[in-house]
Structure 1
Amino acid sequence: MAPSRKKRKLRRNTHHHVKYKKHNTSLLMAASTSSRSNQPHVASFDTLPLECRILIFSFLSDWDKCTASTVSKSWFFTIRSPILWQTVDFTTFSVDTRDEFYKDYVQTALAPLDWKGHVLYCFNCYKKRLEHYARYLRSVKASVKHLRFQFDLGHPEDQFGKMLINVLRGVNCRNLVALDAMWSQTLCRPLMPHPSDYFPPYESPPLGKVKAFQEFLKVLVAAAPNLRQAMLPFDWSFESTSLLTQFRYLTELHLKYYWIFSVLSQEQLTALLKGLTHLKKFTLQLRNRITPGSLHELQYTMESKSIQLLDISGCQGFFLRGMNMPQLQRIWVSRPRWSGPLIILNEHSFIPRCVYYVLVEGAPALKVINSYRLEENWTRGLSGELHRTLRHACSCQKHLNSWALM
């Protein structure tokens, strides 16, 4: 039986409604797709390549890196990358009397601390921070390129030398190129009015400090054979000199004077300069003991085929007797400042050689003396400007013009 007219009309309307609905749905989907394509794509930080994340984190300080590592697991593992810990600087830590550890301690303490106890507690917090920092460096296997510290390696209570040796053995120092080691004293250590109240009697013999420094050098030679730059106080003992010459690739060396008066022998200086065949820049600070009978022993001959820049302006009791430096281009030299007994000149006194003639004989490529740029024919004779420069740099009889050597 054929369907009625009403049923046929209802079927036709339903078909048109479904067709219209499908058409509108397709238009809406197309419109939404086009609108999404026009919007910029926003990527999260974790979707960046690892190299980009490491580069961004490298601009943070060590303290900020540790704080950022608590944000998420992704940041935690990224910051533990060894390449992010190339610069190890223990001098960024300081003794702060407003330390948060101290505030927490005061709130829980049974009795308030006096001033001496306050300072001592802050210094102990400083040592704990150094220990935590050293432990973290070992845990991430840091790839160290620059190392800097400033504390006494030989102090029996602080144990900084042992801590530093553990760091060298626990991290990767094969790429270590720069060292700034102020190993002779801890400048931030508090000076207590009555040290016996908080520390046992302690005397720091020079041999104890030097021995700790030599132990550090032994470990450093094995851990960082590719060292390029070094700045450190030096005791000029034969063992220390022998250890320092094992850094064959040193190009820049700055040796500061030790806290006691030490006497440099010609053999030690010759051995050091001959052992460092790649040395380009050498700065020497020395405090020789000056007495009327030791003046003849304070004349030195410097020989090096690689040094281009030489700075001996910080030396006292150091007089040039000869020089063989064919590559030397610039030198800083000054007359020693007075220290110790006053030495009066007479006919029997020792008069050092003139710096001008020493340089003419041993530095043919020299271009600058202090701030004075030499002329091309400077070896033929003294000009007026060069003479005035040497009056502040030379201790010979011609340029001294004084009744005393200093």
Structure 2
Amino acid sequence: MDVRKLRTRKHRIKLHREKLRKHSLVDSYCTDDEVGPSSRRYSHTTFPLFSNLSDDEVILSHSKDEGNRLKVSHSAPSCQLLLLQATEEATPNDFFPFIHLPMDCKLKILSYLSSIEKGLSMRVCKEWCQILQTPSLWSNIILWDFPLTCVPYSKGGNHNSGDCYSCYKKRVHGFACFLMRIRPVVRRLEFKFDIYPDTDGYLAMLKNLLCCISFREIRYMMFNWKDTPARPFWLEDFKKCRCQDVLYSCKLRARHCIWFFEDLSKHLGKIETLILPFDWSSLKNVENLGRLKTLRNLVLEKSSVFQSVPQSRLDKLLSGLPVLRQLMLEIWAPCGATMHKYELSSESLEFLDVSQSRGFYLKSLHLPLLRRFRVARHPWNGPLVFSARLNIPCIYDVLRFGAPNLILLNDHYLEENWKDICYPRLEDVLKSVCSCRKHKTGWMM
């Protein structure tokens, strides 16, 4: 070999090594033309296809750094190939393109993308478009997570939020049509839209999804039927609303939810986690929720400001859910001299959170498996009443007799002898959360 060519080759290899050292590409996955900071990849030690870590460990390790997003390259070489390229000239056979991966590997890689990222990736090529239409990639459906602002600012500097919301609705309904066409098996569903008045067609869209897609494999569902977070509240149709119209629409909205939830509950045979605003005024609604015998985690948010909850409906709900483990109640009950004090009984409940409730006071508990309990004291929601006229039970007595296996009160770990003696640290916690005469300071509630 000519000495001049050899020196030129050695010089080229030296420059390439310095380039790799500068951009730290030896321990990353990227191509030669992707040396910028925007092309960060999973490292070879945590990439799920080339490591012993589980998927949960990979997600947990990368959730701490928002910059480490999954990015797939058509010509992503391994670390060994990069080292080989540093020592000698690489040939086309030294690279293993993404297109040559098995289909299972491609689906596994693309499954880490969000819905928006999957939609953008469908524009890459025909093959990706066909792969991303695989139903198994769309088992986790988030209907509401779309950007709102898309229309550029006008020449005068004014931004028409109504046009942006129109584009948002078009995206949501287009995504729903796409799901109805590929018919995935849904395991997770998040719905955050106002179902009344149905001028935006969100309730009709959900009914069509229920008819075209199987919901029987759903394990997690967030069903917020009260409001649309993406909708600007200053749109034209909101300016003409009166107070009585708002109250009337709230009642109709809750009624429409009861009718739809009756059909929906028939398809949720395997659901384990459910989050929704709940209307306690209808016994039918409680019966529909009691059909979900597989529920383990339940979050019931308030559906109106003040709503009286009969004790019988709480009993019916807890007795109808035999495997319920975690329960969060947000009940805003009217307060006053005639307020109710509630009893809770469950043989399976391990976690109870009533910290978001107002006017919801416990009289007694029968929760033998309860391990964690959260409670908070909120401002009074009713007429001013002297504390001497009220007889609110002490939380310490309620927990001591009704939850013998309790280990955590809010963020305080209880000592072993907490049922026998109320030690000073526990006393301080009770002074901040309990509303009884002993722990509530002040002359008026």
Measured against the shorter chain, the TM-score band is 0.7 to 0.9
What secondary structure is seen at the aligned counterpart in 2 of 1:120?
helix
Are 2:251 and 1:207 aligned? yes
Please show how residues 193-342 of structure 1 align to structure 2 within 5 Å: 194-195=236-237, 205-236=249-280, 237-292=282-337, 294-295=338-339, 298-342=340-384
Q: C-alpha offsets along residues 57-98 of structure 1, whole Å, 9 cap, x if unaligned? A: 1122222322322333332221111110021112311421x4
- Residue type matched to 2:433 in 1? A
What secondary structure is seen at the aligned counterpart in 2 of 1:56?
helix
Q: Which residue of structure 1 lines up, in the alignment, with residue 76 of structure 2? A: none
Q: Structure 2 CA distance, aligned partners of 1:79 and 1:193? A: 36
Q: Structure 1 CA distance, aligned partners of 2:344 and 2:378? A: 18
Candidates 116, 128, 133, aligned match of 2:175: 133
Q: Structure 2 CA distance, aligned partners of 1:217 and 1:357? A: 38
Q: Which runs of 5+ in 1 are unaligned?
A: 1-37, 107-111
Q: Which residue of structure 1 lines up, in the alignment, with residue 394 of structure 2? A: 354
**Are the structure 2 counterparts of residues 189 and 39 from structure 1 closer, same or farther at C-alpha, using a change threshold of 3 Å?**
closer
- The farther-off stretch of 337-346 and 147-156 is 337-346
- Residue type matched to 1:277 in 2? P
Please report how far the alpha carbon of residue 404 of structure 1 lies from its aligned counterpart in structure 2 after TM superposition: 1.5
What secondary structure is seen at the aligned counterpart in 1 of 2:348?
coil
Q: Structure 2 CA distance, aligned partners of 1:220 and 1:353? A: 39
Q: C-alpha offsets along residues 104-141 of structure 1, whole Å, 9 cap, x if unaligned? A: xx8xxxxx99969x322222221111110100011111
Q: C-alpha offsets along residues 244-273 of structure 1, whole Å, 9 cap, x if unaligned? A: 111111111111111332111101111111
Q: Structure 2 CA distance, aligned partners of 1:79 and 1:159? A: 27
Using the aligned pairs only, state the percent identity.
28
- Greater helix proportion: 1
Please show how residues 95-106 of structure 1 align to structure 2 within 5 Å: 95-96=148-149, 98-99=150-151
**Are the structure 2 counterparts of residues 89 and 351 from structure 1 closer, same or farther at C-alpha, using a change threshold of 3 Å?**
same
Please report how far the alpha carbon of residue 193 of structure 1 lies from its aligned counterpart in structure 2 after TM superposition: 6.8
Q: C-alpha offsets along residues 124-181 of structure 1, whole Å, 9 cap, x if unaligned? A: 2211111101000111112222111211112231121111121122223222111122
Please report how far the alpha carbon of residue 198 of structure 1 lies from its aligned counterpart in structure 2 after TM superposition: 10
- Residue type matched to 2:264 in 1? L
- Residue type matched to 1:126 in 2? Y
Q: Structure 2 CA distance, aligned partners of 1:50 and 1:174? A: 27
**Are the structure 2 counterparts of residues 397 and 223 from structure 1 closer, same or farther at C-alpha, using a change threshold of 3 Å?**
same
Q: C-alpha offsets along residues 164-205 of structure 1, whole Å, 9 cap, x if unaligned? A: 121122223222111122211123323347538999x97552
Are 2:116 and 1:63 aligned? yes
What secondary structure is seen at the aligned counterpart in 1 of 2:322?
coil
**Are the structure 2 counterparts of residues 385 and 171 from structure 1 closer, same or farther at C-alpha, using a change threshold of 3 Å?**
same
- Does the 8 Å contact 2:226/2:277 carry over to 1? yes
Q: Which residue of structure 2 lines up, in the alignment, with residue 29 of structure 1? A: none
- Does the 8 Å contact 1:151/1:187 carry over to 2? yes
Please report how far the alpha carbon of residue 210 of structure 1 lies from its aligned counterpart in structure 2 after TM superposition: 1.2
Q: Which residue of structure 2 lines up, in the alignment, with residue 156 of structure 1? A: 198
Candidates 53, 60, 80, aligned match of 2:106: 53
Structure with bigger gyration radius: 1
What secondary structure is seen at the aligned counterpart in 2 of 1:247?
coil
- Residue type matched to 1:183 in 2? W
Q: Which runs of 5+ in 2 are unaligned?
A: 1-90
**Are the structure 2 counterparts of residues 193 and 223 from structure 1 closer, same or farther at C-alpha, using a change threshold of 3 Å?**
closer
**Are the structure 2 counterparts of residues 145 and 113 from structure 1 closer, same or farther at C-alpha, using a change threshold of 3 Å?**
farther
- The farther-off stretch of 243-252 and 219-228 is 219-228
Candidates 231, 234, 241, aligned match of 1:189: 231
Q: C-alpha offsets along residues 332-361 of structure 1, whole Å, 9 cap, x if unaligned? A: 112232223222233xx1211111111111
Q: Which residue of structure 2 lines up, in the alignment, with residue 393 of structure 1? A: 433
Please show how residues 173-184 of structure 1 align to structure 2 within 5 Å: 173-184=215-226
Q: Structure 2 CA distance, aligned partners of 1:345 and 1:47? A: 74
